[in-house]
Structure 1
């Protein structure tokens, strides 16, 4: 059998922690959830089973060529009938064992998939109920917390007098603690809990307003989806914007440099490597064209957040766009990408491949869902896009690190079962770097995962790479870079 050996765990969730090179694949219209190597082994066994069936038919044709077949009881060592019979038995055993092993692997992957979906559903239900219950008792908790907070504040101030620390030292203290505990934010439990917490905010709000829980649940993430992460983000904007924070502005877009030649990407590694780095003042969008005008195909690469200030800056890839994008309220980055695509010459009917990291992946998903352009493929890396349903029939791959908290900000996954999800725990066995925040979210980490995906024999990953070549062709094209800038506030 082919493929990398499965290390650590044959399917996720086993008793032993996996290697940092393990890829866990799910979705894509399938109920299977397993490592890429296990799924590749199952596909190889199915191929071997089909080959055995084909050889059985060929042997039947060979047998029919004997015009005077010798009956079985009279076979001798030189009779063709005995040779064909022996070959048939051996090939039948190969086919039977290959099929049985493939069935066992698929059954294990399906069993884990059912268990994972049940756990996600029950965990989500529990989280939603807990959020609703907290919302119901929130007024009483606030009243009860006032004396405790006052006492705690007095104690904190007195301890500061004794130790000589100042209130302004709190951020530095928190930073030191995170430096001393690098796994505090990279433990996979933290993103999983955060995903539930983000999805439960609307339930807590429903509890405060005394909306019955069955109604809240029916309208929420696991119901019709009218309430959820999107409405929670809209609530954050409603509170912040009167304070002058998270405000949207107009954007202008300009080309950075002239067009340059580019070769078509051949896999996930190429796609991830061409996503613009999140650098303040740099280009945020890269557009590639393959083929002549009128029959061109395009790849649009969208970078991640470059500015984390909640105030208005000149950078559209900022915290304001992050929240506005989740709220689906016309983020500056979304509008900038639309304008860049139009300026680059993308026509509405042209096939487009959307690629993005972090906020760029969320924008790419929303562009695909909007129908503004003819998106035919999409690949996102570390994007909080779980609630964005892309159109059916799209080749869609979402890459998420299980120790990255940013994809969890998209909440519990939506109802989009056609999207192929590839997960990897970057620091399962590797030490966590202490010199940068959220190392599992770094574009460099996702580029490494993309290279592992290219090396994977998993059939659906191979199919995506093959479809990419079909859409773009093999001839060189051209590339242009674009930068969006926020307009100054009046």
Structure 2
């Protein structure tokens, strides 16, 4: 399992590991110390010259006795000053090299992302243009294909009706494809190519369609799920149709200590177990309350809404920036807990909970001091002006479902490959294992242990927000209102 963190965003175009940025910060401290010593030696030499050899106090190097360096000492101090200056210059060059390496890596990442996007857009436009011919060809090839499938199944002694189950069973037994960072990148690029596919289908020329698509980005993923929901509604299906919800307190208030860092926040995020509370709210401060909100991930993946508002339907509407029951439930729970819209909030969530946290920060009607996303699909979220930390595993497909949008400057993205690189070990990993809450909690602990300045800055934001005094905690359960209500 790789414990190396890769950082991007946070107001810089550089992309590198946390160790690399931490080394650059250490070199900066060394450079400042070298400059300090060079200045102190220079002050002693200047004081000696000005006193005609008599000397006087200078930067703590001379005492009340009037001691001044001798000629030999002056030569040694001059040589020391040159050596310190040379050391400082060497440190500066090494630090600049690290910076340039991070910038070059960032440029390479942006180039690769752009190439993936351009390739996906061209492929989508081509597929859209060829779709009518493909459908026509499929009609004439169904019989030969069915005959070939029947022949191969008979030859290997396989019931053709079992083929879909065999394919899904293969994926469950060997999930390396779905857990592959390359496959995740492919999905992220494909999500952002919906309008190019439509343009190809409508015969829009590539010279017009592709440059337009390059500026749409992850909002295409939101448009795709919106169209999906509208189609379901148009045919009269209850699938993906939002319903009202209600919230009730699941636990009595109890005392709680401040979380203490990003790892402490992640440790308190509720699980997505069926029937359990999805929202945890902590209050700190009596006269000027501050609120920390923890949100669970998706608990129900069926297309038709049931009792669970943190479900696939809410996922679709939250991704499309629509009216999601899970987001409404958080607002209701905050109001019931006594939080005023003007009081500061710190939000953290896993999967859908991370997306909802970012949407609440984006909305602008709440006083959100910061938010943390653990594996949610944030591609289309633009929470400008709010400090954010998005933890996204490179082998987790869920963050890729948001597409590849343009992250706001205030969002710091931390990546890590969660599953083992060894093929044998990876084959034993569970399906979508990189998306598990435990994996994201581990990454959050690595962030707290990192010496990278921006990660340390966000950790301080968490600690300063919650303070040191105990607070109070309540848990809340949200449910969809049955149709008969």
TM-score (norm 1): 0.89
Once the two structures are TM-superposed, the CA of residue 206 in structure 1 deviates from its matched residue by: 2.4
1:437 has 2:396 as partner: no
Q: Among residues 382, 394, 397, which one is paired with 1:405 in the alignment? A: 397
Larger Rg: 2
Which aligned pairs between 1:110-121 and structure 2 lie closer than 5 A?
110-121=103-114
Q: Which residue of 2 aligns with 1:35?
A: 17
Are the aligned partners of 1:255 and 1:483 in contact in 2 as well (CA < 8 Å)? Answer: yes
Once the two structures are TM-superposed, the CA of residue 157 in structure 1 deviates from its matched residue by: 4.1
Are the aligned partners of 2:172 and 2:431 in contact in 1 as well (CA < 8 Å)? Answer: no
Q: Which residue of 2 aligns with 1:54?
A: 36
1:482 has 2:464 as partner: no
Are the aligned partners of 1:248 and 1:331 in contact in 2 as well (CA < 8 Å)? Answer: yes
1:262 has 2:256 as partner: yes
Which aligned pairs between 1:442-461 and structure 2 lie closer than 5 A?
442-461=436-455
Q: Which residue of 1 aligns with 2:295?
A: 302
Are the aligned partners of 1:217 and 1:223 in contact in 2 as well (CA < 8 Å)? Answer: no
1:23 has 2:17 as partner: no
Paired with 1:213 and 1:366, the residues of 2 have a C-alpha distance of 34
Once the two structures are TM-superposed, the CA of residue 337 in structure 1 deviates from its matched residue by: 1.2
Are the aligned partners of 2:226 and 2:317 in contact in 1 as well (CA < 8 Å)? Answer: yes
Paired with 2:453 and 2:122, the residues of 1 have a C-alpha distance of 39
Q: Which residue of 2 aligns with 1:13?
A: none
Are the aligned partners of 1:196 and 1:411 in contact in 2 as well (CA < 8 Å)? Answer: yes
Q: Aligned pairs, how many? A: 466
Equivalent position SS for 1:288: strand
Describe the shift of the 1:318–1:171 C-alpha distance in structure 2 as closer, same or farther (beyond 3 A). Answer: farther
Deviations 1:242-294 (A, max 9, x none): 3331121100011111111111122121111111111110111111111115x
Once the two structures are TM-superposed, the CA of residue 62 in structure 1 deviates from its matched residue by: 2.2
Describe the shift of the 1:123–1:459 C-alpha distance in structure 2 as closer, same or farther (beyond 3 A). Answer: same
Deviations 1:420-440 (A, max 9, x none): 111111124352364732101
Once the two structures are TM-superposed, the CA of residue 153 in structure 1 deviates from its matched residue by: 2.8
Once the two structures are TM-superposed, the CA of residue 217 in structure 1 deviates from its matched residue by: 4.3
Q: Among residues 124, 127, 130, which one is paired with 2:123 in the alignment? A: 130
Deviations 1:304-348 (A, max 9, x none): 111111112100111111111111221111111111112112211
Judge which range, 479-488 or 233-242, deviates more.
233-242
Are the aligned partners of 2:282 and 2:473 in contact in 1 as well (CA < 8 Å)? Answer: yes
Judge which range, 171-180 or 436-445, deviates more.
171-180
| RMSD, aligned α-carbons | 2.3
Q: Which residue of 1 aligns with 2:228?
A: 236
Are the aligned partners of 1:298 and 1:346 in contact in 2 as well (CA < 8 Å)? Answer: yes
Q: Which stretches in structure 1 are left out of the alignment for 5+ residues?
A: 1-18
1:92 has 2:85 as partner: yes
Describe the shift of the 1:141–1:464 C-alpha distance in structure 2 as closer, same or farther (beyond 3 A). Answer: same
Paired with 1:199 and 1:101, the residues of 2 have a C-alpha distance of 39
Once the two structures are TM-superposed, the CA of residue 225 in structure 1 deviates from its matched residue by: 5.6
Equivalent position SS for 1:228: helix
Q: Which residue of 2 aligns with 1:376?
A: 369
Once the two structures are TM-superposed, the CA of residue 165 in structure 1 deviates from its matched residue by: 4.3
Q: Which residue of 2 aligns with 1:15?
A: none
Q: Which residue of 2 aligns with 1:330?
A: 323
Once the two structures are TM-superposed, the CA of residue 226 in structure 1 deviates from its matched residue by: 9.4
Are the aligned partners of 2:217 and 2:404 in contact in 1 as well (CA < 8 Å)? Answer: no
Are the aligned partners of 1:433 and 1:439 in contact in 2 as well (CA < 8 Å)? Answer: no
Equivalent position SS for 1:410: coil
Once the two structures are TM-superposed, the CA of residue 224 in structure 1 deviates from its matched residue by: 5.2
Which aligned pairs between 1:188-337 and structure 2 lie closer than 5 A?
188-213=181-206, 215-217=208-210, 219-220=212-213, 222-223=214-215, 228-241=220-233, 242=235, 243-293=237-287, 295-337=288-330
TM-score (norm 2): 0.90
Describe the shift of the 1:99–1:229 C-alpha distance in structure 2 as closer, same or farther (beyond 3 A). Answer: same
Equivalent position SS for 2:401: helix
Once the two structures are TM-superposed, the CA of residue 80 in structure 1 deviates from its matched residue by: 3.6
Q: Among residues 158, 170, 176, which one is paired with 2:169 in the alignment? A: 176
Once the two structures are TM-superposed, the CA of residue 454 in structure 1 deviates from its matched residue by: 1.1
Q: Which residue of 2 aligns with 1:152?
A: 145
Once the two structures are TM-superposed, the CA of residue 151 in structure 1 deviates from its matched residue by: 2.5
Are the aligned partners of 2:272 and 2:296 in contact in 1 as well (CA < 8 Å)? Answer: yes
